[in-house]
Amino acid sequence: MSVTVAKTAGFCFGVRRAVDLAEQQAKHGGQIYAYGEIIHNMHEIARLEKLGVRTAESLDDIPNGAPVLIRAHGVPRFVYEQLREKGCEIFDATCPFVHKIHEIVDQERAAGRLIVIFGSKNHPEVLGIQGWCGRSIVFQSEQDVRQAVESGLLEGEAVSVVAQTTVNRSLWDISVGILKKRCTNLKIFDTICKATDERQSEARLLAGASDQMIVIGDKKSSNTKRLYEISKSLCGDVLYIEDAAELRTQELLHGRRVGITAGASTPAWIIKEVSNMMSEETKIENGEDFAAMLEESFKTLNTGEKVTGTVVAISSTDVQVDLGVKHTAYIPLNELSDDPAYDVEANIKPGEEIEAVVVRVNDGEGTVTLSKKRVDQLKGWETIEAAHDNHTVVEGTIIEENRGGVVATAFGVRVFIPASQTGVPKDQPMAQLLKTKQSFYITEINRQRKRVVGSIRQIQQEARKEAAEKVWSTIEVGSEYEGTVKSLTSYGAFVDIGGVDGMVHISELSWGRIKHPSEVVSVGDKVHVFVIGLDKENKKISLGYKREDENPWNVFKNQYAVGDVAEVKILKFMPFGAFAEIVPGVDGLIHISQIADHRIAKPEDALEAGQRVDAKIIDINDEKKKVSLSIRALLVDDDDYADED
């Protein structure tokens, strides 16, 4: 006989949490009252009764000031109010998933909406949910939904839909489909517990692959009944038992495949009693004996322990993980990664396995806090150490800035990059690196002190060296480059042309006269330059910036010739005449004898600085780049001017 036990068999998180809380309070504080049966299992209730857990069917059964446990099913709002009036100390073990439903319906009630609940009308969980609603309707079947729709019960209503956590998934899907077609103002909240889905799905698969199924649980447990119904539909031989006393070994199919599952209200000790009645020689399919597997499922987790689980659900605050143990595990979103740009939806998917480290175990609440980023750090240290030893490039994200430099995170490990190694010039802010991905080398590592130092600058230096070698292998006079102005001096600008710096002399920056390179370019400017001089031996490059087609003399020659008249601007005076600008960068001389049609003592007697006048071009000297102008030529007849010349 081969036996396969469902991984989800036994207490769900909510029930286990309630039982553990009741047991702890009874042991340490004496008697405690449970409002309603804490669990749908008479054997477990009897065990807890012996410990001092009393079951109160009504509020009148609870003495004033007594400690009271709220079971996992939850209770209506008024129960809390009346217990407070009685001065009772409340120990709330409401399942977090049920509590979430209470919050949802309370908000929808406040919005004036009609609440539709899918579930069993008299089930304590449903009664508890109704206690947080205003107007509500409970649907138990597909027929209930169809009748309500056909009768017009929901017509014109703003409807919000929730479900009992253990409701049948197929009922939910079909019923919601009907409502979607008929309700125009519908809000749907899928509140079916994923653990219930998983338990039923596993039972379905197990029953289909087994010759016999054993379903363990109280006959009053709705979720156990559902497991029995699922098993019965897929397996011809199903035993529904509440405890080991109901199991007759002669009913077992020796030599055949047997599957075992248990309801969410079935305690571990009952499952173990059943297991003890199985043959000691019976082995589970994976080779472990039944009892050993059960012990594994009920094992205690320890802080710092590395675990592997399955992602169950993702919320706005955490990721729920199934570890296959009695505790429900959560990874807070801030424990997923150190990367501020980490995309949870893109990296975490329900159903996928995930590794984490146990950060905190809360046996009272039945929860475990996990950290994925700490596992990443453990793996990351190995990667970081290998990168350091092999001098390989590491890529990380810059997450913060401090006085000494910046901090990057790579493979879950924090890497400090000193300011001098960031590659950012001293006069520029390091904040420009924040939230950017950068490549760097690991230059120092101390695992004991958890200290890692990196260098972006080394990467840049190597890249610059490689680029420089490429430039020197191809550069020649006339080569053109797109460069970046790195620094300015009084005599020129240094330009990085791709790993190599060249200098543009001040005389090569502009065709006009400038006093400092900053009049033309600034540090950081992208400029187009060309090589005008090259000394490979001494690694010196002279660059040109001003273009021949921008040469003012060429501009002048393209516009004017001897005999043309130009409007010029008087610039300055000399004893022998006045200089005037013809085009930017080209000046002409108006000799004192050519300023007026009569004799003058000095140029200022006839002209003013800044004055614009018409002048005739009477001579152009290409070799010396000089132009002679005459105002007088425009004041006398051409013939007279010619005779006088």
Q: Which residues are catalytic?
A: 125
- Measured distance CA(191)–CA(116) in Å, rounded: 12
Pairing of strands 2-5, 283-284: parallel
Residue at token pair 């056909």: 150
Provide the residue type at 514 as one letter.
Answer: I
Cα Rg, the chain, nearest whole Å? 44
Overall residue count recorded for the chain in this entry? 645
Task: Count CB neighbours of 290 within 10 A.
Answer: 22
- Measured distance CA(495)–CA(319) in Å, rounded: 52
Nearest to 94 by CA among 196, 20, 18: 18
Provide the residue type at 570 as one letter.
Answer: I
Tell me if residue 238 falls in helix, strand or coil: strand
Provide DSSP, 145-191. HHHHHHTTTTTT--EEEEE-TT--HHHHHHHHHHHHHH-SSEEE---
* Angle subtended at Cα 467 by Cα 461 and Cα 471, rounded to the nearest 5 degrees: 140
Long-range contacts of 570-573 (CB under 8 A, 24+ apart): 570/607, 570/608, 570/609, 570/610, 570/611, 570/612, 570/613, 571/609, 572/609, 573/602, 573/603, 573/604, 573/607, 573/609
Provide the residue type at 124 as one letter.
Answer: P
What token pair was written down for 432? Answer: 């420009």
**CB within 8 Å of 141: residues ≥ 6 apart:** 171
Task: Count CB neighbours of 158 within 10 A.
Answer: 15
Tell me if residue 510 falls in helix, strand or coil: coil
385: left (phi over 0), alpha (psi -120 to 50) or beta: alpha
Provide the residue type at 456 as one letter.
Answer: I
- Measured distance CA(182)–CA(380) in Å, rounded: 54
Tell me if residue 258 falls in helix, strand or coil: strand
- Taking 3-state DSSP, the helix, strand and coil percentages for the chain, each rounded to the nearest 5, stand at 35, 30, 35
From edge to edge, which strands make up the β-sheet containing 136-139?
136-139, 114-118, 159-163, 186-188
